[in-house]
Structure formats: C-alpha cells, structure tokens
Amino acid sequence: MRIRLVLLTFLMCACALLAQSAPASVQAFGTATITVNPPEQAQLTIGVVTQGITADEASQQNATVSTAVQSAIASVLHSNGTVQTVNYSVSPRYSNSPNPSIIGYTASNTVLVTTYDLSIIGKLIDTATQAGANNVGGVSFGLRNPDPYVLQALGQASKQALSHAAAIASGLGAKTGPVLSAQEGASYSPILTGAPTAGTASTPIQTTGVTVTATVTVVVQLVAQ
C-alpha cells in the first residue's frame, strides 16, 4: 500500500512538472485566394473519329484526316503553344443483335492543344473542324507556372493566421509569442468551360479568371501580457 502511495505521488508530481514545462499555445487558421485574370494558357482536345469496314480502312482514313487537322492547327498555333497526342485507338463495332458480330471498325486520334495566346482559341477550333476534326473537347484555362501565385497566397494566409492567433490571445488576456509549428496547403485547378461548338461563324470563347487558394495553420505560444 505504501509503495502504491509513493508511486501515485510520483506520477502526480511528474504530471505537474510537465504541465508547467509545456508552454500554453493557441492554434489559428488562415486562408487566401488569388485570382489571376486573364489566365496564362488554354487547353482543348481536338480529335478525329473515322469508321471503316476493316481496321486498316478506318485507320488509313483517320491518318489522312488527322494529318490535315494537325497541319491546320500548327498553321494557327505557330510557336504560341504545343500539340500532344493523348489518345489513339482502333476498335471494332458490333451489330445490335442477339448474336453480335463485327460490322466495322472505328479509329480515333485525339491531341491536346495548349496555347499561350488566348485570342486564337476560336480560330484553332474553326480551322481544325474545317480541316476534318469532328470531336472537340471543352476548353480549360490555367497557368503556365502557378508557383509564384501559390507563394503569394501562402504569404497572405500566414498573415491572416497570425492575425487570428493574436486576436484569440488578446481575448484570453495574453499575447502571442514565437510560432511553434506551421502547416501549409495549396490548391490550383484549371477552370473548365463547356465544349465549344464550331459553325460557319467564328467560334466565340469567353475567358475566365483562375484562382489559387492557400491555407496555413499555425500553433503559436501564448505569453502573459
């Protein structure tokens, strides 16, 4: 019994010492959003889909049209962007019957077009469709390098987090000391618009701002005023 009492007393003293040695602290959260308008680049997918009785027929037709489409894109794009193949496939088509059979083949070739000149987006779509493209995807707006904007947003979020910590400390009758820890978070997503529709008139494209959001969580030591 005496040993238990001594052990209990020791544990209570240890807890008291730890409580005294651990500084009081407060946790605060800050967030900031930066809108970049106009965006720095636009991306869209342009594809060619062809059909044939045989796989070779479908792929040969696709090669002919795709070559013409990509040449047309290059004539508009020049050095203001890039073209990258993102999908190529040749697949069979089946009949709608109780016992499906192959009735032909479909070939698809899709490229991702990135342009740094937002004024030529509509012209890219019109030129590509006039050359034979029949599958145009949605346009997304983004940034070539989001890092500078992320750093700017993190700086603003940090200031807000520290401001919140100071307000909490003041309400508790204390003031803030050194920062004990900090955690960051940031998100950037290209803005996707609807799929454009090409016609006889020039395709209109409306740009929109891109947002970069950062968050910072800080743990700040509290000291007596």
pLDDT digits 0-9 by tens, 30-45: 999 999 988 999 999 9
Question: Mean pLDDT, to the nearest integer, of 11-33?
Answer: 67
Question: Mean pLDDT, to the nearest integer, of 115-121?
Answer: 94
The pLDDT assigned to 179 comes to 96
- Return d(Cα 89, Cα 21) in angstroms, integer: 67
The pLDDT assigned to 11 comes to 40
The pLDDT assigned to 204 comes to 72
CA dihedral (140, 142, 144, 150) positive or negative: negative
- Return d(Cα 193, Cα 3) in angstroms, integer: 74
Q: Is the peptide bond before 190 cis (omega within 30 degrees of 0)?
A: no
pLDDT in tens, 140-191: 999 999 999 999 999 999 999 999 999 999 999 999 999 999 999 999 877 7
Q: Kind of pairing, strands 41-52 and 81-94?
A: unpaired
Phi, psi of 6 (to 5 degrees): -65, -45
Contact 42, 137 (CB under 8 A): no
Phi, psi of 36 (to 5 degrees): -105, 115
- What is residue 195's DSSP assignment? P
The pLDDT assigned to 160 comes to 98
CATH 3.90.1300.10 fits 22-37+145-224, yes or no: no
> Which residues have C-beta within 8 Å of that of residue 167, sequence separation ≥ 6?
none
Q: Provide the b/e sequence for 90-124 (b: ≥16 CB within 10 Å).
A: beeeeeeeeeeeeeebbbbbbbbbbbebbebbbbb
* Per-residue pLDDT band at 13 (split at 50, 70, 90): very low
Question: Mean pLDDT, to the nearest integer, of 1-10?
Answer: 43
- Return d(Cα 24, Cα 104) in angstroms, integer: 74
Closest CA to 185 of 166, 158, 210, 164: 158
pLDDT in tens, 74-112: 999 999 999 999 999 999 999 998 889 999 999 999 999
The pLDDT assigned to 164 comes to 97
41-142 topology per CATH: Alpha-Beta Plaits (3.30.70)
Assessment of whether the complete model's pTM goes beyond 0.75: no
**Domain chopping of the chain, boundaries:** 22-37+145-224, 41-142
Reading the block at residue 190, the tokens are 């290209």
